[in-house]
Structure 1
Amino acid sequence: MTLLGRVGVPLVPLGPTVRSVVAGTKPPSAKAAFQLAPQLVAARFETLGAAAEGCDVLLATGLMPAGARDVAEKLGIRYVLACFHYFGLPSRHFPPGARPGTPSPEGETDNRVLWEQDAQRVNALYGSALNSHRAAIGLPPVDNVRDYVFTDRPWLAADPVLCPAEGMTDLDIVQTGAWLLPDDRPLPAGLEAFLDAGEPPVYVGFGSMAAHAPKDIARVAIEAARAHGRRVLLARGWADLAVIDDQDDCFVVGEVNQQALFARVAAVVHHGGAGTTGTATRAGAPQVVVPLIADQPYWAGRIAELGVGVAHGDPAPTVESLADAFTTVLAPETRARAGDVAGMVGIDGAAVAAKLLLEGGP
């Protein structure tokens, strides 16, 4: 919302909020997914059909934005699909991720077959609703919803250092670099005072991981950091992390300028979302990544491969395991390596993408 406000672009809600879908006490069930999918398709046809009127291009992202390209087709405007990693794109090198619907036969290992079955699951989720809405606006049916949504040339909004993607998918992807704009917002006064009051703290945050966040992670992280004589900065997030006592070595923040903050912390403990990983890497902050779902294990692995942090294999850290990880990430050599890699990460991904959009590139 802050970025949109800079340039006067209105924010238009599109269906239910992500938080309302994923932030329950348990992850959504397969039954809930089959109920939600038609609602999402309907919302896109209705909302985008009005919002995109008079526009030149429709840029879509998300897990499966079925309905967006159809609106662009009806309006006769350009459509681009952008993603933040390549793991949802068909590939000979890796299998598809989990998706609600009929599972693949046990023992099937041919990635091409597995991706064909993935396309069938997407059709089962979205196909009927999508083609019903297409028929209502005079468009012919789509046989393969997934591939129609993806197009032959999806854009990859990820940095090549963190996400080298050449040859990894069967599609002709356009890698622009990560879309991270400079954030000039000042840090809150209370946070500034905490940062100035001692040595750089360890940041701990799990973003939108409410149902998936490690149990008791605030206590575990605080005790592990204290074992190293470190202060802790907790990001409240959707998991509602909170301090465990009244000692003055911990501080809780809400949504803040991570670009400014990560440059001033000793390490970043997080779930491995694409945005947090990219921001921490660009800031030169050593990282402990505790991957929970989706693409997060990949980002954890890359952080370890690059030598700028630790991939915590167990999604439920203990005080001992996290303290061990801190031994690595708080070492001077890890900080030095993180600084080196920060200088390799591109800063122009958003500009590259904007230029392609404005000039009608691939």
Structure 2
Amino acid sequence: MRVIVTSHGSTGDIYPVIALAVALRNAGHDTVFATLPVYREEIERAGVAFYPLCADSHEITIQAWMGRLQKLHSPISQLREVFMCALPLLPDLIQRTDGVLKGADLLVSSYLFPMNKGLADRHGVPFATLSFAHQAVPSPDYPPENIISPRWLPSGMRRVWNAFLWRAANRIVDRVINRAVRRPLRDAGLPLVRNFFSAPAERVIVAVSEKLMRPRAAIESRFRFTGYCRWQAPEDARLEEELTMFSGGEKMPVLTFGSMVYPDADAWMRRLAAAWPRGRKLVVQRGWAGFEAPAGRDEIKVVGSVSHDQLFRHASAVIHHGGAGTTASALHAGVPQLVAPHIGDQFFFGREVERLGCGFRIAKKCWPEKLAAALARLDASPEFAASALRARATLASENGPTQAVEELERFVAETKAGRAAACVS
């Protein structure tokens, strides 16, 4: 079948979809990844067909978007900002997605762009979404993230209350999205977004570990946990030599904040240099923050873009921001973690790391000063390392991309069978 996959954002929104696209291609499906031109090289290097959803002439600075998001504290404000940032591109995105859908058998979209359902329905194409986090999966057995469900209520009443909270969350998020995108959707003849949480698509692939992450709760059957869909950039042989020489064969802490933006990165590194113990080695990934090695601190090595799997093989612990993809990589590495959440669902993943016993959170505002003491706490408690190894062993038994492809194939077959039965009746 011909499958169109699409996602936008940072690499954490792109790499899982590359993994899914590669698995679909390997299963014999004609697969096209439709997204922004900035990711063309990564996608084509993976052997997946690329389709641009806007012209190369568009000045898209995703780093600037992320910087604006980090200044907002409310998840609702952050969600509004996502769509306001995308608003100038939406007419082009809609028009080009409409074009690439001709002759398609399935559209798989990032859950953040539920308006693509209207385009899929226009072409009669089954529509599925891909979710990189599981806190957005609704259930009457727990409330939406960061909302309290009174434990003193009887269980039946608490389930009713939780269901009400999810309906309210649907209405609030739908309103936020629709206020931002109402005009381009109307101009394209598309319906407004409805039921962002409870019914974003007929099938939702939740691309996290089912064994580690799936809640023990009643969840609607449209949500299918498949395991992580992970894609890694090619490994760098020269960097491997550098890291091996730098480490002397010993494991060392690795810090990476991925797509987080630091307008004053040099000031943060000066704070780190002032607090970090002399002679103790630390690897810092430059990332979107643009961190540079502090002068006179040879024990702090800064590296550029590199596969997480390659980098984390050298790690005694991983210090990160709690992004979905980075958390997955740290769990697969089987090492303890320190999570300094910056924005959005990173706070949720920080709590998940704590729940799994693989590490704990530290505050973003003071991580340079607190880092050494937090690592000492990790080292002093072997339970963190043991839990991390158990998590890695669990993940080794899962194959997220293959499971996701099987779920999507079943979904398309069920949809076709349902439509055929409806025609006969």
Q: Could you tell me which runs of 5 or more consecutive residues in structure 1 were left unpaired when the two chains were aligned.
A: 99-108
Q: Distance in 2 between matches of 1:34 and 1:123?
A: 12
Residue 32 to residue 260, structure 1, CA distance change in 2 (3 Å): closer
Residue 95 of structure 2 is aligned with which of 46, 51, 59?
46
Q: Give 1:139-158 correspondences, 5 Å limit.
A: 141-142=191-192, 144=194, 146=196, 150-151=200-201, 153-158=203-208
Farther off after superposition, 162-171 or 250-259: 162-171
Amino acid at match of 1:316: K
Paired residues of 1:187 and 1:261 also in contact (CA < 8 A): no
Q: 1:91-140: CA deviations, max 9, x gaps? A: 44123569xxxxxxxxxx9544444343333343343676665665666x
Paired residues of 2:340 and 2:350 also in contact (CA < 8 A): yes
Q: Give 1:255-334 correspondences, 5 Å limit.
A: 255-312=305-362, 314-318=363-367, 321-331=370-380, 333=382, 334=384
Does residue 1:353 correspond to 2:401, yes or no?
no
Aligned to 2:27: none
Q: Give 1:162-241 correspondences, 5 Å limit.
A: 162-167=212-217, 172-181=222-231, 183=232, 185-197=234-246, 198=248, 199-210=250-261, 216-222=267-273, 225-226=276-277, 229-241=279-291
Amino acid at match of 2:361: A
Quote the offset at 1:168 in angstroms: 6.4
Cα RMSD of the aligned pairs, angstroms, is: 3.5
Paired residues of 1:25 and 1:211 also in contact (CA < 8 A): no
Does residue 1:9 correspond to 2:53, yes or no?
no
Residue 34 to residue 293, structure 1, CA distance change in 2 (3 Å): closer
Farther off after superposition, 204-213 or 286-295: 204-213
Farther off after superposition, 183-192 or 25-34: 25-34
Aligned to 2:63: 19
Quote the offset at 1:281 in angstroms: 1.1
Q: 1:152-207: CA deviations, max 9, x gaps? A: 542200012442234265674100111014x4722251452233232333111111
Q: Report the 3-state secondary structure (helix = DSSP H, G, I; strand = E; otherwise coil) of the residue aligned with 2:269.
A: helix
Aligned to 1:81: 129
Matched residues, number: 347
Aligned to 2:167: 116
Aligned to 2:18: none
Q: Give the TM-score normalised by structure 2.
A: 0.70
Q: Give the TM-score normalised by structure 1.
A: 0.80
Paired residues of 2:69 and 2:81 also in contact (CA < 8 A): no
Q: Could you tell me which runs of 5 or more consecutive residues in structure 2 were left unpaired when the two chains were aligned.
A: 1-38, 148-159, 415-425
Q: Report the 3-state secondary structure (helix = DSSP H, G, I; strand = E; otherwise coil) of the residue aligned with 1:150.
A: coil
Q: Distance in 1 between matches of 2:274 and 2:301?
A: 14
Aligned to 1:246: 296
Paired residues of 2:260 and 2:288 also in contact (CA < 8 A): yes
Paired residues of 1:38 and 1:126 also in contact (CA < 8 A): no
Q: 1:9-47: CA deviations, max 9, x gaps? A: 215245855323222496366785674464454343212
Amino acid at match of 2:49: V
Q: Distance in 2 between matches of 1:275 and 1:358?
A: 25
Q: Distance in 1 between matches of 2:345 and 2:256?
A: 17
Q: 1:221-273: CA deviations, max 9, x gaps? A: 5555536x531111111111222223321221221111121012121100111
Q: Report the 3-state secondary structure (helix = DSSP H, G, I; strand = E; otherwise coil) of the residue aligned with 1:269.
A: strand
Quote the offset at 1:3 in angstroms: 4.7
Q: 1:45-78: CA deviations, max 9, x gaps? A: 212112332322111115x304211111111111
Paired residues of 1:152 and 1:171 also in contact (CA < 8 A): no
